[in-house]
Structure 1
Amino acid sequence: MGQLVLSAAGAVVGGAAGFLIGGPAGIAEGAELGWMAGGIAGGLLFRQKGPQPADIRIQDSAYGKPVPLAYGIYRIAGNIIWAGQPYVASSGGKGAGGKGPQQQKVSMSFAVGLCAGPITAVRRIWANGKLIYDVSNPSNFQAISGSNQMVTNFTVYPGDENQLPDPVMQAALGVNNTPAYRGLAYVVFNELDLSQWGNYLPSLSFEVVTAPAALATSSSASTYAYSTSLGTFFMAPCLSASGGIAMGYGYYFGYNGVTVANLSAYGAVQTQLLNWSGNRGGINMPLGYSDVPGIYTWPGWLHPDGSYDDMSLTGSMDLGFDGDEACFWRNGSDIFLSSSYTTSGRPIYRCDLSQQGLIVAQSTQLGEWHILGGSATHVYAFDDLTGHLFQFDRNTLAVTATYNGINFNANTGYVLTDDYIYTVGDNLAVSLFRPSQNTYTVLGYAPFGVSTMVAINENFFVFASGANLSSISLGYMWISQGQTFTTVGNAVSDLCNRAGLAASQVDVSQLTDMMNGYCVTNHSTTRSNLGPLMSTYFFDACDSGGVIRFVKRGAQPAGTFLYADLGASPNLADTANTTPVTETIAQEVDLPRSMQLTYPELGDDYNPNTQRAMRAYTNSNRDTVMQVPIVLAGSDAQARTQAMLWAAWVGRKTFQFTTGLAYLQYEPGDVMTLQGSNGESWTVRITRCQYDGQGSLLWAAALEEPDIYPGSSYTTQGGTALGFASQQIDYSGPTILSVLDIPPLRDADSTPGVYIAACGMASSWPGAAIDLSRDDVTFTQFAQITHASVMGYAAGALSSFGGGNLPDETNTVSIVLYEGALASCSYADFLAGANAAWLGGEILFFRNATQTAANTWTLSGLLRGRGGTEAAMTTHAAGERFVLLDPAAIVSMPIQTTDFGSTLYFETFLLNLFSGSPGAQVSLTPKNGRVMPLSPVYFMAAHGSASSTSDISLSWIRRARVRTQWLDGADVPLDESAENYTLTILNGSTTVRTVTVAGNGAGGAYTYTAANITADGFSTGATITFRVQQNSDQGVLGASATTTITR
């Protein structure tokens, strides 16, 4: 006979083991009640002792803590099992985020035990409740990029039986003193930067994944196009988790400009245009990787800031013909070069950049090479001629190992370590070669033809493609986990296996429900561990022929207990003959008025959520609360809560009856139809069947309603947690900084200074701290910018204009914005400067802004050369920076008079958890500094003076930088304490005389006497050039005005 193994007072595995060993007597009493009817009522009387969600929400560091057992996905705080010594470093220097020279920066290595292994991955990490790592969506490159910038140098050990001790722990504890912790999944952080948490170790929690297999996802993230007449050579050789810097110039000769673009997960935008000309004689851009950004120049290396690594001593390399460098690897002062465009074989060259590219070694092994990269001791290259992979000594380029017998497919690659060598082949396959195991495994496929790749770690790869002669793309590949997690049957089967039952002793074939996650969180019996699953997913367990069979509720009746067959008894005087069916109804006051289910909410970062179901009309005042460590979505949890309440009320009616042995095939858990004496019938679930030894079966059953249990067609709306917003990874893209050395924008800005504008590439940009250094070593924070400026660059050159103060209604300029938008304004606002902007040195007003494409606007109706910047009207070029002069976004930065002529260095730091990493450095040598006097106007030279007709008379009118309103009866105020000018007289480009001229209040005048003219070497018919500049109190010579005259 059989009976339900699990009930509110009965044990699942304990009861099963008792039955299998000692027969029915080994099963705890009360099992015949079934789970739902007995479990709900029992919950009112007995304290729940099973696993609960709160058990592992707080990170700890203690001996004797239970090791959680997770299924599917679950958020676990973990237990710190080892902590190294904190490392303290002063952070007041370069890249310190403006913390000042006294601020200490602390990093620390430690290990956190998570749960019993094996697990598949860690997908998300929270620090003090804030999301800092999120790779749960392989299509979200921004999150993956930011996560791998935030949490670096950490290793996840899955908890299998093959894992080895961690090297970081071995370095601290000793090789022989460090266990491998096999069977325990744990994470080791190597020197985690604690500065973003106030130099304290944060409370961490981790989303672990246990079930799915690894999947590779690749995508192209952003593309930048820069077209020239014959095409453009592009290179982005230095890639990181954040992207990289791309540089390109026109193919083949005749282009002096080099465009610089930023490639990131947030897009691809041009950041500057270098006016550079030099070597560019190659036939194609070589493939390879560098530890610094730049572009190769056959030979030579141009950096994004315009500096140049000369390679003039390289000499002639045997590459087939000049410009045939097809592959390279740059690391430190070494650059390794070779060619794959040959069929006769060429050497690999090692050139020393500190010695102007001098060749210091070359390989004797010739090949058609694809250089993959290297380590501190070796260089790796694939030879197309032999199909072999070669390992070379880094210093001498002597062959130290040859790998063959494997069908390598490599055009380029990356060396993460000497045992992790990655390749990208003709079919875009990304493969891993493990020399220690002699295995070559395809991991996935790149999104395009690759010119540069980098393995950020074993799961994250970043690519650049510069093969196209018009654009360059940034892409990535992420090896992630799928979205199908586990089934209830998998969890139940594993729990029974851990209790000592063999697979043949358990039947979970009916438990096919998909389950997001479940966790055994404390020390408890297997019976208690199965309880939350049985209560939430509505199944029972019974013994059947020596097998514990888990039976899912909600089935349709398997048969009918005919009324004529009821009342079987060996005794004619037995009450079973007179009362074949005994019906019992539980008191209403013993049943729940409401049911509350608390669980980790799938959509709320596993924070506890509670769903509630109530019975509208009842005399009961009992409220039942349940907590389960099962990850549920709100609507699913609500449906299950309602079903629990309904099941408790439906199951209040129970039946006892007897039959003959004809019904022996039915078992506890089966749903049956029970007929009554008056033709009525009930749907019941068998909870017990007992043989009396005299030919009769004693049955117990509970009223059942199969339709109450959640199914695929049943939907409901669960309650959501108020005030919760799903967290996203902080903005981790670039900060674009503009330092404007221009005349003052406001009357109050009369002291030396510059203006700072900054923005990001997304609306989520948090602002930035700006650090300043005068020696490129010690940086100090001087400002924080929280309001993004509208910035971009000119898609084409703005034509010159000579119309003075008249609006330029002829010319237009196309502006590509990094982020934000532009708007038109009325004519009155236009004249008042509502739409003021800085473009390549010129301050202008625009009236019309028309959007022509995504992030692209055409400006027209221009008022040019504002604020004394008319000289820049004739010098515009494509690619120059555009900044909308918004008073709320522009920051004024004072400078010292000693800064004029010296280089200032600026670094940016995001105002979020990524504040520990500086953005790209910007430098400026101030010349204007808001105190450079404007050029005089109406500068005229005329023959004759009051003294002599042979003299030359000069006159000019000064201008003011501030307080320049047009007032009747008053001239503009003088910006300086004294008015004087420097007059320079030139013969061609040669200065022949310099004179300081005192002003007359409105400008200046000077008589160039005939004697001085002759003394300066001018003869009749000669052209004399005059240049006048106003002097400032700060020693900054003003902008010049020029005029000429013929003697």
Structure 2
Amino acid sequence: MATLVLGAVGRALLGPVGGAIGALIGNRVDHAVLGPRRRQGPRLTELAVQTSSYGTQMPALFGTMRVAGPVIWATDLIESRGVSGGGKGRPGVESYSYTANFAVALSARPIRRVGRIWADGRLLRGEGGDFKVATGFRLHAGGEDQAVDPLIASVEGAQAPAYHGLAYAVFEGLALAEFGNRIPQLTFELVADEGLVRCGTIAQAMSPHVRPGDPGAALTGFAASGGSIRAVLELLADVSGGQWVAQGDGIRLVAPDAAATPALAVVDEAMAATGHGRRGQRQMAGEASIAASVTIAYYDPARDYQIGVQQARRAGGVRDDRLDLAAAIDAATARTLAQDRLARIMAERVKRIVTLGPESVAIAPGTVLAIAGEAGRWRVVEAGWEAMAVRLTCVPLGRAGPRLSASPGRAVRAVDRTIGTTRLAVFEMPPLDDQLLAGPRLSIVSAGGPGWRQAALAYRLDDADGWTSIGPSALPGVMGRLVDLSPGSATALIDRRGGIIVRLAEDLADADAAALDAGANLAWLGDELIQFARAVPLGDGHWRLSALRRGLRGTEAAVGAQRVGDGFVLLDAATTRMLDLPATALGRRVQVLAHGVGDGAEGVSAAAMLTGLSVCPPAPVHWRCRRGADGRVTLGWTRRSRNGWRWIDGVDAPLGEEVERYRLTIGDRDEEVTEPRWRGAVADGTRVAIRQMGMVAVSRPLLGIIGEEG
């Protein structure tokens, strides 16, 4: 600034008095040559949009702020592959999941800690420091001696930078499934200094030329960036209602208060000498040039640092004076600042020119005066040296108004839910479509409470060493436990007498006939597939299910076999992860491991036996036994199919297998036939078991006794 330069020259040539004169001349040069200062401070949106452009300016953060920093380092995305679905003549569906390793710059000066983190507007890290998505995270606070991050060092080797003096965060293995398999837009709540921070403190940290002065306004947080340090200093002075004045070889902030600052009494010597009044020495700006309103845009901590706007208005005028303040303040502070700024604008429309003798050369800008013959107090905003006299330009010194109340408006805040441990249900059931599987299919449903989103899944057979990854889980499912089961009618009818009581954390709903026909309210209970039309809440997470359809798709053998505590899972394509296994896995135990954010290092596991329920034909029905006149026995039965459950043609179900075959166990001997009948010699009372043989597995037996009709 010219004031500082010419003040130093004056001191060198003429001593202390010369320094004062030089500062006065420099003050005029500062205004006349440099002209009015255009603010080039940070725009509000610059702190909310994440970039990775080379040369992006980093803000120096003070207090507590929410910012989006540039990505300064990243590796290629890491791909994981999983396969689901498939069956006879149908390929499995390959699914891919991705994780990312990258670093984000946060502040050009050291910080203390990171609070919440948002990803695409949703909380990635909560108030308690818990992450909502699986990731590794390290914070480098920005010290000049900070070490190289180990991940960056492992990739870059000896060339890895430590980013001394730059606060940055490293994400290792951030799961990207919830963000469209891309790195999301991240914003960070950063704490550089605990508590409120004063504008004067910020200024001293920004420039070594700033000397201790008035503390200035108190802010929750501030982001110093923009075109120059000068622009930042001018903004800080503006917010504080003060100005920068020369002090030695530096500057200090002067923000006088009309009630507390003592005034220096002066007499306008030019007016006194001529005997003229004050006419011509007082200037007043026209009404049209004065702002009718002041608008302050800011970051509101009460609204997760979303941009807030407060405005002060007066009668008359049309122009709005807007201040984009890259600072975090509450709504009441912003409204008070707007009101004080408008009052200051109105007061400072009047200017008073005072001429004093050489003995007043030490009066500097920022000095508060009491001018003889003028009411109130005046602040010197400009000092000049002309014709061996001191000319002071002064403005009225207003009194700061009371603190005003203000509402931040409706806050749309990201929900901060703690993620619980993964709950896992693993079971084999018949396909819910007409797909003919070539190997057993395992159904996996997972959940974990309100904040739970997803878990990484892996499996193994018969406690083998090592796990095979199958990618992420599906959407959170509805899961619970059986509390009570009352008997009802046969499986071929809608059970309107019996009922089921289950306990679960989620809600259920009724389903009308059309919804039931479309597959609504299907559930897995024990080893039985059921459907319910009515769901009545009983309180405390208990629900009574009624108007039941039992033993669907060949699961009638499990009807009534359930026990209290058996699992209940609401079935939905979006919440069920399918794992297709080879036919050689039949009869083996499969264990599934889930690793969610809240599951710890060991994860959560569940197991099931692959009995072939997903690939075997349903058991034959309608046992018939007749003994002929020749003494031979004729057995008959009706086959069923593992597809064609909707029975669209109303005539016969499709075979659903490559060939039609049945295995009969008659007493202690086995026989095979290719049609649903058998004839031969056998004694009454002999037990018979009939199984349909499928491509992959055999059905459950149809049991009968020779001599008895089914």
**Distance across 2 between alignment mates of 1:829 and 1:839:** 20
Judging changes above 3 Å, is the alpha-carbon distance between structure 1 residues 729 and 11 closer, same or farther for their aligned structure 2 residues?
farther
Contact 2:458 2:468 in 1 (8 A): no
- Residue 672 to residue 851, structure 1, CA distance change in 2 (3 Å): farther
CA shift, 1:853, in A, is 3.2
Consecutive unaligned residues in structure 1, runs of 5 or more: 1-8, 213-483, 987-991, 1014-1022
> What residue in structure 2 maps to residue 647 of structure 1?
344
Distance 2:131 2:311 in 1: 40
Counterpart amino acid of 1:687? V
Distance of 1:194 and 1:806 partners within structure 2: 47
- CA deviation digits over 1:491-514, x for unaligned, max 9? 245457x3374xxxx343x64x43
Q: Does 1:156 align with 2:150?
A: no
Structure 2 residue identity aligned to 1:531: E
Query: Could you tell me how far apart the structure 2 residues matched to 1:500 and 1:831 are?
Result: 77
Q: Deviations over 1:132-177 (max 9, x none)?
A: 7535x23xx7xx2326x3243x2423426x75566667778889x9
The answer to whether the 8 Å contact 1:793/1:881 transfers is yes
Distance 2:335 2:583 in 1: 70
For residue 483 of structure 2, give the secondary structure of its aligned residue in structure 1.
coil
- Give the counterpart letter for 1:1039 in structure 2: R
Aligned residue type for 1:146 = K
Kindly indicate whether the alpha-carbon contact (under 8 Å) linking 2:213 and 2:253 is maintained by their aligned counterparts in 1. Answer: yes
- What is aligned with 2:209? 499
Distance in 1 of aligned mates of 2:82 and 2:370: 82
CA contact (8 A) 1:800 1:873 kept: no
The alpha carbon displacement at 1:857 in A equals 1.5
Q: Distance in 1 between matches of 2:308 and 2:300?
A: 6
Question: Matched residue of 1:852: which SS?
Answer: strand
Q: CA deviation at 1:641?
A: 4.3
Supply the AA of the counterpart residue of 2:483.
G
Match of 2:197 among 486, 503, 513: 486
Cα distance in 1 for residues equivalent to 2:490 and 2:618? 19
CA RMSD of aligned residues (A): 6.0
**Contact 2:135–2:172 (Cα < 8 Å) also in 1:** no
Q: Distance in 2 between matches of 1:593 and 1:156?
A: 47
Cα shift readout 1:688-716 (whole Å, capped 9, x = no counterpart):
69999xxx998754235435x5x423437
SS in 2 for 1:793: strand
TM alignment of 1:838-987, pairs within 5 A: 838-886=524-572, 900-901=586-587, 926-928=610-612, 930-939=614-623, 945-948=628-631, 954-963=635-644, 974-976=655-657, 979-986=660-667
Partner of 2:23: 27
Give the Cα separation in 2 of the matches to 1:500 and 1:566. 29
8 Å CA contact 1:584–1:654 kept in 2: the answer is yes
* Aligned: 1:715 with 2:393: no
Question: Which residue in the other structure is 1:537 paired with?
Answer: 240
Specify the alignment match of 1:322 in structure 2: none
Q: Deviations over 1:543-567 (max 9, x none)?
A: 8999987554664487899xxx986
Which ranges of structure 2 fall in alignment gaps of 5 or more residues?
85-91
In 2, Cα distance between the equivalents of 1:837 and 1:66?
56
Secondary structure of 1:655's aligned partner: strand
Residues 576-975 of structure 1: pairs in structure 2 closer than 5 A:
578-579=277-278, 582-588=281-287, 590-592=289-291, 602=301, 617-618=316-317, 626-632=323-329, 636-637=333-334, 640-641=337-338, 643-656=340-353, 682-687=375-380, 701-706=394-399, 709=401, 711-715=402-406, 741-746=428-433, 748-749=434-435, 754=441, 756=443, 758=445, 760-761=447-448, 789=477, 791-796=478-483, 798=485, 803=490, 805=492, 811-819=498-506, 821-824=507-510, 835-886=521-572, 900-901=586-587, 926-928=610-612, 930-939=614-623, 945-948=628-631, 954-963=635-644, 974-975=655-656
1:997 aligns with 2:673: yes
- Secondary structure of 2:108's counterpart equals strand
What letter corresponds to residue 337 of structure 2 in structure 1?
Answer: R
Partner of 1:1028: 690
Deviation at 1:188, TM superposition (A): 6.2
Pick from 106, 115, 123 the counterpart of residue 108 of structure 2.
115
Give yes or no for contact 2:297–2:324 (8 Å, CA) kept in 1.
yes
In the alignment, residue 529 of structure 1 is paired with which amino acid? V
SS at match of 1:145: coil
Which amino acid in the other structure matches residue 677 of structure 2?
Answer: G
Give the TM-score, by structure 2 length: 0.72
Change (3 A) 1:648 1:982: same
Q: Please tell me the residue identity of whatever aligns with 1:837.
A: A
2:131 maps to a residue whose letter is: S
CA distance in 1, matches of 2:430, 2:624: 25
Secondary structure at the counterpart of residue 146 of structure 1:
coil
Could you tell me how far apart the structure 2 residues matched to 1:967 and 1:875 are? Answer: 31
Kept in 1: contact 2:242–2:253 (CA 8 A): yes
**Partner of residue 69, structure 1:** 60
Query: For this pair of structures, how many residues does the alignment match?
Result: 685
Q: CA deviation at 1:651?
A: 1.0
CA–CA separation in structure 2 for the residues paired with 1:100 and 1:826 = 33
Q: C-alpha distance in 2, partners of 1:167/1:617? A: 63
AA aligned opposite 1:189: V
Verify the 8 A CA contact 2:267 2:372 in the aligned structure 1: no
Q: Give the letter for the 1:499 counterpart.
A: H
Cα gap change, 1:12 to 1:519, in 2 (>3 Å):
farther
Of all paired residues, the percent bearing the same amino acid is 23
- For normalisation by structure 1, the TM-score amounts to 0.52
State the alpha-carbon separation in 2 of the partners of residues 111 and 592 from structure 1: 41
Q: Indicate conservation of the 8 Å contact 2:488/2:496, yes or no.
A: no
Structure 2 equivalent of residue 186 of structure 1: 167
Could you say what secondary structure the match of 1:687 adopts?
strand
Q: Distance in 1 between matches of 2:68 and 2:572?
A: 46
CA distance in 2, matches of 1:904, 1:150: 28
Cα deviation per residue 1:951-997 (whole Å; 9 max; x = unaligned)? 666444444555467999956665556544211134xxxxx201123
Change in CA separation of 1:589 and 1:811 when aligned onto 2, cut-off 3 Å: closer
Instruction: Report the Cα distance in structure 1 between the residues aligned to 2:509 and 2:235, rounded to whole angstroms.
Output: 59
